[in-house]
Amino acid sequence: MKCNNPYKLAKPEFSMKFAHMGDCHLGGWRYPELQEVNMQSFSKALDICIAEKVDMVLMAGDIFDSAYPPIEILKKTFKEFKKLYDSKIPCFIIAGSHDYSVSGKTFLDVLEHAGFCKNVFVYEEKDEKIILQPTISGKYAIYGYPGMKSGLEVEGLKKTKLQDSPGFFKVFMLHTALKEAIGNMPAPSISIDELPSADYYALGHLHIEFGKSNIAYSGPIYPNNFEELEELKHGRFQIVNVQDGIIRRDTIPLRIKDVLNLVIQLDNPLTATEKIITELKNHQLNDKIILMRLKGNFTSGKVSDIQFNEIEQFVKNQGAYVFVKSISGLKIEENKIEMDEKDVGKVEEILIKEHFEKSETRFADKIQLLLRALSVEKQEDEKNQIFHDRLLSELKTILIGSGKTSILLAIEFALFGLQPGQKGASLLKTNTDEGFVELEFEIDGELIILKRTLKRKKTVSQDSAFITINGKTEECATTEMKNFVLQKLNYPLEFAKKTNLLYRYTVYTPQEQMKQIILEDPETRLNTLRHVFGIDKYKRIKENTVILASKLRENSRLYQGQILDLETRKNNLQERKNSVENIKKEIPKIESARLTIHKEKTKKETDLTDVKLKIEEKRKFEIEVEKTNVLLFSKKEQLIKFTKEIKSIEEKLQEATDSFNPEEFAKIIEEVNNKKNYKELLDKEINTFSNKISSLISKKYDLEKLKEKISSLKNCPTCFQDVSDNHKHAILSKTEEEMLNLDKEKELTDKEKESKDLLIKELILEINSLEMKKNSLQEVKIRLQTIQEDYQRKEAMEKQKSSLESDVKMLENQMLILKQNISEMKKFDQLLEIKTKEFEEIYNKERKLEIKKAEILREIRINENEINLIEEEIKIKEEVKMRLIYTIELENWLSGDFLDLIGTIERNVMIKLRSEFSNLFNDWFSILVPDTFTVSLDDEFTPIIEQQNYELDYNFLSGGERTAIALAYRLALNQTINSLLSEIKTKGIVILDEPTDGFSQQQLDKMRDVLAELNVEQLILVSHDQKIESFVDNIIRLKKDNLSTKVVV
């Protein structure tokens, strides 16, 4: 955390804390891993805000990298905002230049409608002024103005006013560039003085560390591109504390992943892979962001020879978090073509050499490189800023191309495909959905067949392409085939993406197109020829030099801004060094005083230790008293216990002796036994009576059964005779009499039994009573025996009691001695307090001196660290100063000598070309036309035709003469280009399309001489003149048949 310089408010009553962040650019990185780190950095910032319990969070624009971020980014962002919402921390936002939308509809509105934040851009227009309305939150009045594309917000800011909000702390949020922050950079900006007054300005937009009093840029939540990540390594934001009217900003770093910066110099793409991996092995890559910037000039090979897949796999295996590379510093040098001194290209080399032979500039050896670099063209869809940056960082060839119809156009199509602006319908037959062209040719000993197909959909377009080399066929992309052809023909690769004028003006040019060139206005013709000759690069070089010089001037202004305070920082450095020297002088004084006090402290400490030893001795006596007291109490307790036990034994023995009579005990035992014997006798008698009663009851029962049987009897069971009633009555009477006797006998027996039962009950009661007496006496007898045993221990207990009494007396004497010793040592308690106080005082004095010394040493370290930082800052600024000097020198050289040189080269090359072209043009024309005509070229390459010293207008010539002019111009142009580009493989072939149109018979005869002078390996003539057939070796006749062109055998 870095604390910035505090700023004092005019109003001291404010006390608050809030967070200021911006430029989150969520979703900006194309690497998913860096997108995630960006989101983690944002999440960490919000977590810190919650932990710090800030009053609010200000987000000064560019929360998202675009107005419509991906849905996954939105989901994660909403989750993070909800944390703030749940913590009840309000969030206030404005749009930035990235997430701003002209329509005013962005996903910031969705965040606001969800209740997660509040957009504070609230305004009304009045009297051509923009009156910003405050958003009130607690003690704060928050105003906001959004950033817009291309700095359009600047003009609006100049018209803003803040509606007054007295008593509140005014915060103005804006997303723009301050002039004071960017210096002389040519970008839309506003000065601090042009802004309305506020207590704090929360700025976003510039990813720089800029803070002036109460105005600050928060810095990015995470770096947003390769260069920023190299420089900053992590994100940051501000926590602003306002206390007693003082504003203090703390810069909070957001470190998520470590960044490893690697700059590797390469010289050969074929060995680059191994070199890069070797360098990577020297570093710890695990869980780091690897930034690798490659630099170097390749004289052979190409960047694609570097096996980046292998490198990325190695980095992945080493556990790197993500691998990001920059190859903008890799340059591929073009092969130089050797030319003899007569070549036009030699003019450039000669003039450069002559111009700088005596020059002492350090840029002389860079002219050839600059000529190539500054000849690049701006792409059609390329933004100016990107093109300008490309001029400063990497130079690439931009490629463009073109074409025509008929069989000759088919040849051109087979070689180069459809040219820019050319329609496929001009080649494909009407009402035909598809077709193809196949071209066979031999070059460098290889038999090559090119095949391209056309297909009609909504429009006619190229469909597929095939290359056959020595019988081996491969399908390829149309652009790959064109590049292959250009390489085989040794054409400059710049024609890969632009109109192939080289082929048109060296091999095949439709006659009418050549006539059109002659009739073009001079400027258009001159620009076309510049392009054909390849010297339009000088114009581009001059234009790009102006751009480069402008960029260098911008850099100079930026460098100047960076070193404005260089001298001030040097003065600050010297002041800090002087301050450190003065502070260091205090250390010996403090150390001397500390040593004196330390000696005194040692003596006090010894005295205190002696007192503590006495106190410790007293404590031991006290502990001994406690132990003796406990032992004395225990002995007394035992003495009392023994006394009680002896007395108890004597009392129990007396009591037991009085309670037990042996004679009585024996008498009771005898009586109990007698009673029990008598009871047994009575039990036997009762038993007898019970048996008798049972027998009587049984007999009575048998008689009752007999009575019932006789009453119902009719016949005698023995004789079976009838039984008379009288007989029955007699028997029944006898039976009843027996039953009556039985009842009487039973009644007498029952009475006797009852009498015996009573006797037994009384006897049992007597026995129980005697048993109780017996048991009681038995217990007394047993207790007496036990007491007699205890009584035998009485003598031993009395001896122990006597011993205890002696111990108690001895312990009481010892207690008295210990208490006397403790009383004598109580004086050391007060002395300990005095000595302790004296020691603490001297200790605190020494401690204060040590703290003072430590503070001084800490201040020295802080100052020395600050000195190191200032020295490093000065070193960097000195390096910037050197770059400034270098940049100014380079810009002056480019704007002066270099541009003059390019103008001189261009003029001389054009003069040389025009001279050669004019001579060849006159030579060819003199063959075709009578000697009365002479031709030449003016400075704009316009044909000048004279007859007998009179200049003739081209339009007043006959058709044959105009054709002759065009043909001569065409052949001269062909020879000039072939001379200029001597290595192309089409030098030996020329295609002439209707070269004799309008010729007289005499001119036709001259064509034989023209063809002989051409001296080419292969000549193709397209003509309707029969006479031409005698000029050639082979004739191919073509005939139209049903809208189809056929070869006539």
CA distance 903 to 908: 9
Strand partners, 322: 289
Confidence label for 391 from pLDDT (cuts 50, 70 and 90): low
CA distance 626 to 114: 76
* Superfamily classification of domain 660-792: Helix hairpin bin (1.10.287.510)
- CB 226, CB 264: distance < 8 Å: no
- The mean per-residue pLDDT over the stretch 296-325 comes to 88
CA distance 362 to 352: 14
Confidence label for 340 from pLDDT (cuts 50, 70 and 90): very low
Which tens digit of pLDDT belongs to each residue from 415-464? 888 877 677 777 777 667 888 899 898 888 889 999 999 888 878 888 88
Amino acid 336: pLDDT = 40
- The mean per-residue pLDDT over the stretch 1038-1043 comes to 65
- Please state the φ and ψ torsions of residue 252, each to the nearest 5 degrees: -100, 115
Residue with the two structure tokens 């009586």? 671
- The mean per-residue pLDDT over the stretch 165-181 comes to 93
Query: For residue 784, what are the contacts with CB-CB under 8 A and spacing of at least 6?
Result: 653, 656, 657, 660
Residue 8 has pLDDT above 60, yes or no: no
Q: Judge whether 2-254 and 660-792 match in fold.
A: no
Confidence label for 701 from pLDDT (cuts 50, 70 and 90): confident
Confidence label for 350 from pLDDT (cuts 50, 70 and 90): low
Residue with the two structure tokens 């005509």? 933
Amino acid 162: pLDDT = 94
Q: Is the dihedral of CA 574, 579, 582, 584 positive or negative?
A: negative
Query: For residue 890, what are the contacts with CB-CB under 8 A and spacing of at least 6?
Result: 363, 552
The closest of 1041, 920, 788 to 344, measured between CA atoms, is 920
Which among 311-315, 557-561, 618-622, 815-819 has the top mean pLDDT? 311-315
- The mean per-residue pLDDT over the stretch 27-55 comes to 94
Q: How many CB atoms lie within 10 A of CB 408?
A: 16
- The mean per-residue pLDDT over the stretch 200-228 comes to 90
CA distance 783 to 778: 9
Cα 377 to Cα 255, 396, 431, 723, 977: the distances in Å are 42, 9, 40, 167, 21
- CB 130, CB 159: distance < 8 Å: yes
Confidence label for 405 from pLDDT (cuts 50, 70 and 90): very low
Confidence label for 370 from pLDDT (cuts 50, 70 and 90): low
Q: How many CB atoms lie within 10 A of CB 992?
A: 23
Residue 26 has pLDDT above 50, yes or no: yes
This prediction's pTM: 0.39
- The mean per-residue pLDDT over the stretch 1009-1016 comes to 78
The chain-wide mean pLDDT, for the chain, equals: 81
The percent of residues in the chain predicted with pLDDT above 70, rounded, is: 84
Cα 1002 to Cα 929, 1019, 1027: the distances in Å are 9, 22, 11
CA distance 227 to 261: 10
- The mean per-residue pLDDT over the stretch 31-58 comes to 95
Amino acid 404: pLDDT = 38
Cα 406 to Cα 439, 499, 735, 803: the distances in Å are 14, 18, 168, 147
If one compares 686 and 510, the residue with the highest pLDDT of the two is: 686
- Six-digit token pair at 1049? 């055998």
Residue 337 has pLDDT above 50, yes or no: no
Residue 329 has pLDDT above 90, yes or no: no
Residue 612 has pLDDT above 50, yes or no: yes
- The mean per-residue pLDDT over the stretch 830-839 comes to 84
Tell me the domain boundaries of the chain: 2-254, 257-333, 660-792
If one compares 237 and 496, the residue with the highest pLDDT of the two is: 237
The top-level CATH class assigned to 2-254 is alpha beta
